[in-house]
Amino acid sequence: MTKSELVEYLALQWKENGFSAVRRAEMQEAVDRIFDLLAAALAMGDRIELRGFGSFSLHNIPARQGRNPRTGESVAVPPKKAVHFKPGREMRAQVDHG
C-alpha cells in the first residue's frame, strides 16, 4: 500500500462510517502530519510504540571499513543510525493466519 492509497482508503472509511465527507486534501494533510511527527520523534531518539501494530526504534550501526567495489580500495564507513521495526503480537498473528 502506498501513501496515496492509504489516504484514499482512510477518506473512504471515514465517509462510510457516517462522518461528514472529508476532502482528500484534508486526509492527505492528516497523514503527512502523523508521518512527520513519527519521523521527528525518531530523530530525537525516542521509541515509538503503537499497541497491536508494533514499535519503531533506532539501532546504532558502528563505523567499519568498507571496500570500493570499483577500485577495491578500503574506505572508512562512518557510524549511522537505522530505524528498526518490531511487529506487535496482534500484527504477527494476523499476518501468520491471513
CATH number of the CATH domain containing 61: 4.10.520.10
Residue 98 has pLDDT above 80, yes or no: no
User: Distances from the Cα of 95 to the Cαs of 2, 49, 86, 90, in angstroms?
Assistant: 18, 19, 13, 9
Residue 11 has pLDDT above 90, yes or no: no
| Per-residue pLDDT tens digits for 46-57 | 999 999 999 999
Q: Strands 74-77 and 80-87: what pairing? A: unpaired
Domain of 74 in residue numbering reads as 50-98
Q: Is 80 exposed, middle or buried (0-12, 13-18, 19+ CB in 10 A)?
A: exposed
14 and 55 inside one domain: no
Whole-prediction pTM: 0.74
72 and 91 inside one domain: yes
- Which single residue is written with the C-alpha cell 539501532? 59
The chain-wide mean pLDDT, for the chain, equals: 92
3-12: list long-range contacts, CB under 8 Å, 24+ apart. Answer: 3/31, 3/35, 6/31, 7/31
Lowest mean pLDDT among 25-29, 39-43, 57-61, 70-74: 25-29
Band of pLDDT at residue 20, cut at 50, 70 and 90: confident
11 and 42 inside one domain: yes
